């Protein structure tokens, strides 16, 4: 294992995928492209391995898998049971003192950088292999003790039932799943959403689709509401707009996040104005050109900053389309 297992985003590029996972590597690449990314840092897969080895959790999991692997292959109930057991093993282990202090040092530096005590952060999984929706994200996490707790829970989420089933189906190792973890400042979201630089249903590369809602982007990603939708022609910039009635949005709570009612005055108002949409499209086209492939991106506008400094990007990855 390498001595260094935490990296600031500006230390990373896309070629570090195997070291910190795709999400973290791409966040680093986005920083180097000059995009606005919320400040933060990444825990490498070595950090996961260090925790599993030092605490003995890895050995307990290997022994469990050795005894039960054959039973897991075609039995969903057994996969649920395995997930519950493995995650409980991981979450029962305290983070080793040296690791905890290193993590706290980086969080303290982030707080100092932002001139804020107990900066609220998002803690997201970052797998070397793309497994969207199979691992967990924790939002609006504040304070050193909570950071440690949630990082361990993200490591445990590498063994959700869906993740176990995925690895079984793809003949991957079951007893280990080293993943990276992204820790980045929460954005005080006015609105947020996703951008695809291709029409996913037809594969039309001449269009960009932007979908958004008020508040945090989780309401859009989860599919719990019908977002506003903008289909923009890459060449002409002409947009076809569908503004839906948006009755719910995701916002900060005292701890974590929650779904609340959208104020009536905003329910049928577009969550993006023309210049905000144009800025999203401009940057998305540049990113697609950089990676030389259609992108699936997540954006958020910060209500505390002026335009265009308030547009932040929290993910880009290759788009899936027909």
Q: How far apart are CA 44 and CA 126, in angstroms?
A: 9
Check if the beta carbon of residue 25 is closer than 8 Å to that of residue 12: yes
User: Could you report the per-residue pLDDT of 242-273, keeping only the tens digit for each?
Assistant: 999 999 999 988 888 999 999 999 999 999 99
Q: How far apart are CA 93 and CA 89, in angstroms?
A: 7
75-83 mean pLDDT: 94
Confidence of residue 88 (pLDDT cuts 50, 70, 90): very high
Ramachandran assignment for 255, one of left (phi > 0), alpha (psi -120 to 50 degrees), beta (any other): beta
Enumerate helices (H) and strands (E) in the chain, giving the number of each: 11, 13
Ramachandran assignment for 145, one of left (phi > 0), alpha (psi -120 to 50 degrees), beta (any other): alpha
Encoding tokens for residue 265?
A: 């005055």
Question: Residue 308: is the preceding peptide bond cis (ω within 30°)?
Answer: yes
pLDDT-above-70 percentage for the chain: 98
Q: List residues bridging with 43 in a β-sheet.
A: 6, 181
Q: What pLDDT was estimated at residue 69?
A: 87
- The mean predicted confidence, pLDDT, of the chain is 95
Nearby residues of 101 by Cβ (< 8 Å), 6 or more positions away: none
Residue 11 pLDDT greater than 90, yes or no: yes
Angle at 72 between CA 76 and CA 161, to 5 degrees: 50
Task: DSSP letter for 320, please.
Answer: P
Confidence of residue 28 (pLDDT cuts 50, 70, 90): very high
Task: DSSP letter for 295, please.
Answer: E
Q: Which of 99, 121, 126, 133 is nearest to 1 (CA)?
A: 99
Task: DSSP letter for 202, please.
Answer: T
Check if the beta carbon of residue 219 is closer than 8 Å to that of residue 262: no
Q: What pLDDT was estimated at residue 199?
A: 96
Q: How many residues does the chain have?
A: 322
Encoding tokens for residue 34?
A: 């000059």
Check if the beta carbon of residue 300 is closer than 8 Å to that of residue 279: no
Q: How far apart are CA 62 and CA 55, in angstroms?
A: 13
Q: How far apart are CA 64 and CA 175, in angstroms?
A: 8
What DSSP string describes 57-108?
A: HHHHHHHHHHHHHHHHTT-HHHHHHHHHHHHHHHHTSPPPHHHHHHHHHHHH
pLDDT-above-90 percentage for the chain: 86
User: Could you report the per-residue pLDDT of 197-216, keeping only the tens digit for each?
Assistant: 999 999 999 999 999 999 99
User: Could you report the per-residue pLDDT of 104-146, keeping only the tens digit for each?
Assistant: 999 999 999 999 999 999 999 999 887 666 789 999 999 999 9
């Amino acid at each position: 294992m390498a001595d260094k297992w935490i990296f600031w985003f500006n230390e990373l590029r896309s070629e570090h995928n195997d070291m910190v996972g795709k999400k973290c590597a791409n966040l680093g690449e986005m920083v180097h492209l000059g995009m606005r990314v919320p400040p933060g840092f990444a825990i490498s897969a070595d950090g996961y391995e260090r925790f599993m080895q030092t605490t003995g959790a890895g050995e307990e999991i290997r022994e469990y898998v050795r005894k039960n692997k054959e039973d897991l292959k075609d039995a969903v109930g057994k996969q649920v049971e395995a997930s519950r057991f493995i995650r409980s093993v991981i979450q029962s282990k305290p983070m080793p003192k040296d690791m905890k202090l290193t993590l706290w040092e980086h969080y303290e530096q982030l707080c100092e950088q932002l001139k804020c005590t107990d900066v609220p952060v998002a803690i997201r999984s970052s797998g070397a292999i793309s497994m969207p929706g199979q691992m967990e994200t924790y939002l609006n996490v504040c304070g050193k003790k909570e950071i440690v707790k949630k990082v361990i829970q993200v490591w445990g989420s590498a063994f959700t039932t869906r993740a176990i089933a995925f690895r079984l189906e793809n003949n991957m190792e079951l007893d280990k799943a080293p993943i990276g973890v992204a820790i980045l400042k929460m954005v005080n979201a006015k609105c947020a959403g996703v951008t695809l630089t291709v029409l996913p249903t037809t594969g039309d590369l001449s269009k960009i689709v932007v979908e958004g809602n008020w508040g945090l982007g989780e309401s859009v990603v989860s599919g719990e509401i019908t977002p506003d939708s903008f289909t923009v022609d890459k060449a002409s910039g002409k947009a076809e707009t569908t503004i839906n009635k948006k009755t719910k949005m995701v916002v900060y709570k005292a701890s974590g996040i929650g779904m609340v009612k959208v104020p009536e005055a905003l329910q049928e108002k577009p969550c993006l104005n023309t210049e905000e949409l144009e800025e999203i499209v401009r940057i998305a086209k540049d990113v697609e050109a950089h990676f030389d492939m259609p992108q699936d991106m997540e954006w958020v506008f910060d209500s505390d900053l002026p335009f265009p400094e308030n547009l932040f990007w929290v993910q880009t990855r290759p788009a899936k389309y027909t």
